[in-house]
Amino acid sequence: MNQEYVRGAIARGVTKSKILFSHVLRNAWLPIITLIGIYFGVFLSGAAIVETIFSWQGIGQLCSRGCWKERLPCNTSDYFVAWCFICSCKLFW
């Protein structure tokens, strides 16, 4: 809260809640959302391992079976879903 843009907003008479949500949290969310997008890939690979070990049906096992059996549409759709999620986290936040 000691940044120059916050002090400028206080000098303009903006309310503290507006400063907090419009200025401070907007800048604080950028690295958090970026890490969420990056960790989605880690989550997907961890899901594949857990689902394979416990024989659960899920997207992780679908990805791993698609890789082993060389199913191109399955692999393409899995990578596309992961790519869309990661890019949306990085670009739109």
Full-model pTM: 0.47
Q: How confident is the model at residue 93 (pLDDT cuts 50, 70, 90)?
A: low
Arithmetic mean of pLDDT, 18-27: 82
So what's the pLDDT on residue 44?
Answer: 72
Arithmetic mean of pLDDT, 50-67: 78
Distance CA 8, CA 28 (A): 18
Q: Tally Cβ neighbours within 10 Å of residue 42.
A: 9
